[in-house]
A and B are shown apart, each in its own frame.
Chain A
Amino acid sequence: MTAVLKEVPRTPMAATSSNDTPARVSSLLNRLREVVGDEGLLCKPEQLLVYECDGYVVEKKCPDVVVFPTSTEQVVAIVKLCHEFDVPFVPRGAGTSLAGGCLPIGGGVMIALTRMKQIIEVNYRDRYAIVEPGLVNVHLTNHLKGSGYHYAPDPSSQGACTIGGNFATNSGGPHTLKYGVTVNHVLGAEVVMPDGSIAQLGGVTEDSPGYDLTGLFVGNEGTLGIATKVIVRLTRDPAAYRTMLGIFETVSDATKAISEIIGAGIVPAALEMMDQGIVSAVEQAFHFGFPLDAGAVLLIEVDGLEVAVDEEAQRISALCTQSGAREVRQANTQKERLLLWKCRKQAFGAIGRLSPSYCTQDGVVPRTKLPEILEFIIACGQRHGLRIVNVFHAGDGNIHPILLFDERDTEQVKRVLEASDEILGKCIELGGSVTGEHGIGVEKISFMDKLFAAEDLAVMGTIRDCFNPTGRCSPGKMLPTSAGCGNEAMPRIKPGRRAAM
């Protein structure tokens, strides 16, 4: 590997080669300024502090400079300068990654895409929109409102996260259960490749001849290039919804209901679980009227035709009751429905009421294994003397156990890390994965060789090296390097306190 993975001094400018001199540094800064202007560049230490981490706050590293391009041509020029000066670069959207996807390992140039946020074209007849990567997910949703169409992926962080970030991480969200994740809604992209060339992947028509590079690039975590335009699929709005709240005495009854619903061949639009700990925090924050003594609640939404949703809602309600639900309520108004969803999507924000710090995981298990993994999580919490609460995408088997702790207590911190690793290890053992939607980033890189065999990683490495041979584009992400230098520069000392989910 090249020297780009090495720890480098924060200032002056990214000194990855030994012959770096202040003159050379200021030369790069000047050249970058020529591209993006004074207003498009940050390089003072106090300005850079904001960019030292994303939603994964465990590992921190300031970039040496942050640039804010406003066009594809500027991104190209920046990437070419990075090569000329032999410095690493990393793209960043809103920085909501929970896995350190935007961490500038080795410093270098951070390419913040937030000023490229235009909606370039919306075409309802051909059911696509072309947007710039810095567009905030919910801004697209708002733009499409009233048209009868929407962009389906709805990560809980959609109020902040960008379409470019969603593209890079293949983001999910509550409604992916029925509608699929980001990759299922991306038709193509314009990508600035790691060497600075521009590639048009896919397009506005389906089935472009050739390999599905679009599909490969979605979820590449910035390691294969920088998306500068994304062509997304528009989806017809559902005609009707029924949103329900199933109230259960125990977590085990709730997971049984989930299993029964999926097993009965029903695919709800969303199926989310919150346990007692989360419910009490959410209730204090939003005053929905959740029962505080319930062991768990399920938030279930079915959508479809008006003639069909009531029947489906009744079937689900009956399955909940059979599984021991105390009560199944239905949201009677759109306002009530939106409040329920607000409670769910902002649940992580309410956790501050429970403890000073928390750490969440993103494991996935086959849906029928949910009771098993939840029992394991409870036992694991008891074994380590930790409080763990749960709010997650139950219908997909995508768990988000939240480990509560106080980061001032180093011994407790150690137990949190151990418990997290045990939970993810159990997910693998049950036939699942260590990340359903947050990505590997830097956080879970050490799990890659537990999830995949050496051959699997070798093939993935071949693909990365094919498009990113110098490794300067997003170094140290997703794939463990054979020399093991991807992660060791970043020893994990503290679990994350997550800002949003």
Chain B
Amino acid sequence: MTAEFTPTTQSELARFVAENAVGDKRTLSPVGGRTALHYGFKADEAQTVIAMSGLGRVVDYPARDMTITVEAGMRMDELQATLASERQRLPIDIAQAGRATLGGALATNTSGPRRFGHGTFRDFVIGISAVDAHGRAFKAGGRVVKNVAGYDICKLLVGSRGTLAIITQVTLKLRPLAETSALLWSSFASLADIDRALERLLISDARPVAVEVLNPAAASLIAASSRCELTVTAPVLCLGVEGSKREVDWQVETLRREVAPFGVTSSNVVSDPEAAAMWQALTEFQTCADDPLTFQANVRPSQCVAFLERATKLNVAVQAHVANGIVIGQLPESAATVDETTTILNELRQAARSSNGNLHVLHCDPEWQPLLPMCGAPEPTWPLMRQLKQKLDPHGLLNPGLFVDGVESR
């Protein structure tokens, strides 16, 4: 019974939502590339899907200002291609870029390995337009890179999963394309050895943009997907660098020298053009749809390796953006029942929470959704967030029950 509405202009969308707010009050679910439809608590299916694919235009691209304003339905690969034509980029790694839209990626606060060097959406969104549940088309921020006028609603909408407003247009701060990049893939005898190398890297002379740790299960999946010939039977520390050829070469050598004393058993350098495939494999790991479940744990960087050791014992394939304390895990196919899955997740969630962190599910069988920690454990600030959701969307029309407001009924 789900209807679908595909607006072709922002004002058409605002009118539709405004009429709905005073009329039928149908529940609405904005969708972009539909890559994250089961992300969040299990909620009743929305009565109307708002397909943002019709809003994919470049509004303004003053390349010499290094900013761009685009409609939110633009696909990520199109956005990156547009930027690349001016030798610029949005340096956020987005999985399934051929489907994912900017608005969707932003609403789910997607990121990848290079978040260590460049940051996440909150560091790049300088202006936003959206339609709230009343149908009010509003904006915040602006088109300049520095601006403190008014509340920073851009930050509020990043990661808000379509529950506060429908994002229609975004202005981004941009960065120059890196001339080249490379990854240093080093195998270690144990995760504990990697931990000691990480301690050393805190004062590295190089400035890697990605610091990835993979257990053997994840290493073998990522190596296979990148089609690179690499050692995958041992834990891996994979360091990514970017810059001019000279900077990249110098950094790779420096990093190789710095980590060598900590028990490296083999090491390879993946340079361009193969590096592109490796970056992509590291980015796409979080979306392997064949596996029963993918989760993200957020822990303190210093606790990452201990978390990885624990996950490895449970046969989970784990990738860590280790300097950010972000762990992506794929459950083994042996975790075939919801009970087995829950047992594994509970143990890991406990581990994450003991490190001031948390764990949430990125992707799973929709039937499991009601039973799993889809949005992580409720935080003490969730009541404040529900209060805000209630103020901005008093009738609960935008993705109700999917996020922080989904916990009350649980």
Where the two chains meet, the residues of A that have a C-beta atom closer than 8 Å to any C-beta of B are: 123-127, 148, 169-170, 172, 176, 180-181, 183-184, 193, 199-201, 203-216, 218-220, 236, 239, 259, 262-263, 265-267, 304-305, 307-308, 311, 364-368, 393, 396-398, 431-440, 444, 447-448, 451-453, 455-460, 462-467, 478-479
Contact = CB atoms under 8 A, between A and B. Distances in A.
A213 B156 CA distance: 7
A367 B66 CA distance: 9
Nearest to B177: A265
B358 interface: yes
B65 A453 contact: no
Contacts of A460: 140, 150-151, 153
A373 to B, nearest CB: 11
A388 to B, nearest CB: 21
B376 A205 contact: no
Nearest to A180: B123
B146 A437 contact: yes
Contacts of B159: 207, 211-212
Contacts of A170: 148, 152
B199 A125 contact: yes
A148 B203 contact: yes
A18 to B, nearest CB: 31
Interface of B: 62-67, 87-88, 109, 119-120, 122-123, 132, 136-140, 142-156, 158-160, 164, 175-177, 199, 202-203, 205-207, 243-244, 246-247, 250-251, 296, 298-302, 323-326, 355-358, 360, 375-377, 379-382, 384-385, 387-388, 391-392, 403-404
A184 B123 contact: yes
B146 A431 contact: no
Given A169-B148, A459-B132, A460-B151, A265 B176 contact: yes
A459 to B, nearest CB: 5
B392 A236 contact: no
Given A207-B159, A304-B247, A458-B138, 7 more contacts: A126-B325, A148-B203, A205-B300, A213-B385, A304-B243, A308-B244, A311-B246
Contacts of A183: 122, 152, 155
A205 B356 contact: yes
27 contacts: A126-B301, A127-B301, A127-B323, A148-B203, A172-B146, A204-B356, A205-B298, A205-B299, A205-B357, A208-B379, A211-B159, A212-B159, A213-B384, A215-B158, A259-B64, A262-B65, A266-B176, A304-B243, A305-B243, A366-B65, A397-B144, A444-B149, A451-B142, A453-B138, A463-B153, A463-B388, A466-B387
B64 A462 contact: no
Contact of B381 (A127, A176, A200, A205): A200
A107 to B, nearest CB: 26
Nearest to B360: A209
B391 A452 contact: no
Contacts of B324: 206
Given A127-B301, A210-B379, A211-B156, A366 B148 contact: no
Among B148, B176, B376, B379, the most chain A Cβ lie within 10 Å of the Cβ of B148
A332 B63 CA distance: 34
Given A184-B119, A211-B388, A305-B251, A433 B156 contact: no
A455 B147 contact: no
A126 B155 contact: no
B109, B138, B355: most-surrounded residue (chain A CB, <10 A): B138
B302 A126 contact: yes
B251 to A, nearest CB: 7
B207 A365 contact: no
